[in-house]
Chains A and B, each alone.
Chain A
Amino acid sequence: MRYANFPGCSASTTGKAYTESFSYVARHAGIEIDEVPDWNCCGASAGRLQSDDLGDALPARSLANAEAAFGDEPVLALCAGCYSNLRRALVHARESEDRRRQIEALIGQPYEAKADVVCGIDPFLEPEVAQTVKARVTQPLNGLKVACYYGCALVRPRALTTFDDEEDPQSMEAVVKLTGAEPVEWGSKTECCGASHHVSNPTAMKPLVERILADAIDAGAEAIATACPLCNMNLDMREAEINKARAARGEAPLDIPVYFFAQLLASAMGASDAEAGITRNFVPGSSLLAEAKTREVVVELTPEQKKAARIAAAKKQAAARKAAQAAAAAAPAQGKEEAHE
């Protein structure tokens, strides 16, 4: 698969670890990445507030560039914010021919909206890619309990995104399973992490983060996996402060590392912590993964396998019984012979 990557402002900053781990996985899973030429801000924070036209024009321009360079090659947006905004422009252009023309007029270049826009998870949902990844997993995270966290922009609104279920998505779980880890079922996977109030109003944001961390731990998760630089930073970076506050309140700390799902993939595929960007995490994440890799594999048998096993066992027993009987039959005869002599 080839993708035209739209880095966005976070790729080399807050989301650097995401970029690093993703490109590692991509390299080893046969995913080819081009960069969208002359890309510009997706308009996430300000564009749409200014005007709907600007809100569509900004992302559309980058998409048009991608189209010009790579035709209908899907555009990859690792950042959930970029993903959401690019998709919005795409959907608007696709659902109304008039709007598409308006957008073309606004950006002053042709835009046919033929190239799809995908997020970081989508490539791994392609069966063949998933296969290669599975094959390349050399150091499985055996049974590591992971809470997959989607946040808001990836899954909502339904009209824009392409997820299986905006209220209860399962696709990241499917990807994380590839590493041998075990996703947990939990309720806060699409709750807001308050990232947009990250700077402006931390007091409003902290309880949200705290809740997410608490829920994950409550659901038995040892780690949280994310697919959005902002969510990731928000959860990862705030954990310490939150725990300080909890300590003050005399509550147990919420101790759970936060990874990009790509970091888990990379690590399982044998990337060093540096390569997987794990060293960049605020909450130290190396030891947990290292520990998980040493765990013994618990194989969950399918019903068929169980049945087969049962049958095999039964056969073995039967055989044993036969042997025993044979032996029993043989024994007395022998005795007689002895008597004769």
Chain B
Amino acid sequence: MADVQDIIRERAAALLSSGEVSAVIGWGVGRFDDVRFPLVVKRAEDAGKLVFDASCVQMTAKRLLEHTGDGKVALVARGCESRAVNRFIADHQLTRDQVYVIGVPCPGMVDPATGETLKRCAECQVRNPVVHDELVGDPVPEPKPYRFAEVDRVEAMSREERRAFFDEMYGKCIRCYACRNACPCCTCRECFVEQDKVGWQGKAFNVNEARYYGMIRAFHTGDRCIECGECERACPMGLPLMVIMHQQVRDIDKLFGPYEGGGLTDSGPDPLRTYKTDDIEEFM
């Protein structure tokens, strides 16, 4: 990956010095040298600070929304970031010409702590960027591994056990909303949880309110989820948030035909924004 990193650096420098972009978003080295964090480079001479290696666990795409406005912004994008870009465009949060995508085929990232491949990378469906202005490095194979194993496991449980599973999960949730802030589908200006007047979300700290938050957030993003798994990664309590996302993704595919968030397939508007008169009928 070293050479890829070099190319990224020199391309970033070139783009910045040519003034084609006002900033380049990638990764930099954190406090400890095995920790990476999203880095926004604005001066060509800082391009050398960009790194790209197996420890780039964060999904940087959402940084785009903070830095657009003053000129084009370049984003070092793997499969997941590129899908996020498509997602932003579909949600009118971004226009294609506001972003310059430096595509990087991604072999999958490794948890520096355990040295294992991240769960979300092991389940990754799209390793190569689906949209890019230039591609750095050669495309990697797309194994398209089965990603619903966890869903199947939970589904196999009895109703009571499933309820217990989610109670335990939401019982641990501290409602820090990190999952929301990390999610590239969460682009509302004011989240429902903050609308005290309407009172969607209660203030009490208990499993009920946590469940309400968790499930409604899941429903809000389910039909547009790009399966980047950033919510799960961002969760300080390490909750398996992707279970319920994957469950929705799977059901939507099953019920309304194949659909992938992030405009992978040109399947028209998001499944819950459209309908077919011959959708299956189960409410007669």
Chain A–chain B contact at Cβ < 8 A: no
